[in-house]
């Protein structure tokens, strides 16, 4: 377990050093990880389009990630996609998350019209105001809006990771590929990080 904690700390240290400028006099101090969980586009309109393998396993993993964030009193943000021409329209059943996904009305909400959750939304301002420095992603599509949000977070110098097995796409092999080429962490690693949010 100690070796596991060290490996998680090292991974986060590498990511934070890569994205967050550090002044020389602060280099010896422990840095606090302030994570936020983004649950991206898990909407009734898109779920049937996802691979059956992903639909069978990812919703449970998403709920486990949400439960961990609630346990450690860290914020969860719901992300919804609504294209002005193709929908789904806010307020419709197609727009909503399935009841099986454990988000709450009290969770912050962002509605977007572009693949990246940061593009033409107030998401970045919300994260800056909350002093969040680590963005954790789950949801769909791994090869679409989740991936666009991943790179959007990077461009804005947030540390960003995906939750393994909590992603969906139209092809489960593509989901695996995204998990392998991007910084991803298991639920076990996520729990380790939330238990000791310093490195």
Please name the residue that has the structure tokens 């240290």. Answer: 13
Give the C-alpha separation, 150 to 135, whole Å: 8
**pLDDT of amino acid 61:** 98
Strand extents, DSSP E, the chain: 35-40, 76-81, 108-112, 134-140, 159-168, 184-185
**pLDDT of amino acid 5:** 52
**pLDDT of amino acid 12:** 57
Both structure tokens of 198: 């310093």
Burial label, 194 (beta-carbon count in 10 A; 0-12, 13-18, 19+):
middle
**pLDDT of amino acid 199:** 67
**pLDDT of amino acid 14:** 47
- Domain positions in the chain are 2-9+35-195
Q: Pairing relation of β-strands 159-168 and 184-185?
A: parallel
Please name the residue that has the structure tokens 């991803």. Answer: 184
- Fold of the domain spanning 2-9+35-195: Rossmann fold (3.40.50)
Written as tens digits, the pLDDT of the chain (199 aa) is 545 554 555 455 445 545 444 444 445 577 899 999 999 999 999 999 999 999 999 999 999 999 999 999 999 999 999 998 888 999 999 999 999 999 999 999 999 999 999 999 999 999 999 999 999 999 999 999 999 999 999 999 999 999 999 999 999 999 999 999 999 999 999 999 999 888 6
**pLDDT of amino acid 19:** 47
Select from 83, 85, 76, 88 the least CA-distant residue to 43: 88
Give the pTM: 0.87
Q: SS3 for 115?
A: coil
């Amino acid at each position: 377990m100690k070796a596991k904690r060290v490996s998680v700390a090292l991974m986060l240290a590498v990511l934070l050093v890569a994205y967050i400028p550090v002044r020389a006099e602060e280099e010896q101090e422990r840095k606090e990880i302030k994570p936020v969980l983004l649950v991206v586009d898990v909407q009734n309109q898109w779920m049937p389009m996802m691979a059956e393998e992903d639909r069978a396993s990812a919703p449970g993993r998403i709920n486990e990630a949400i439960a961990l964030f609630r346990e450690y009193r860290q914020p969860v943000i719901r992300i919804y996609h609504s294209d002005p021409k193709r929908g789904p329209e806010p307020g419709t059943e197609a727009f909503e998350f399935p009841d099986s996904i454990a988000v709450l009305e009290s969770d912050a909400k962002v509605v977007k019209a572009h693949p990246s959750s940061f593009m033409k939304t107030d998401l970045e301002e919300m994260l800056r105001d909350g002093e969040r420095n680590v963005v954790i992603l789950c949801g769909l599509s791994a090869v679409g809006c989740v991936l666009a949000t991943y790179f959007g977070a990077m461009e804005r110098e947030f540390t960003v990771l995906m939750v393994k097995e909590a992603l969906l796409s139209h092809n489960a092999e593509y989901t695996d590929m995204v998990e392998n080429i991007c910084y991803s962490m298991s639920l076990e690693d996520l729990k380790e990080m939330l238990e000791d949010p310093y490195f």
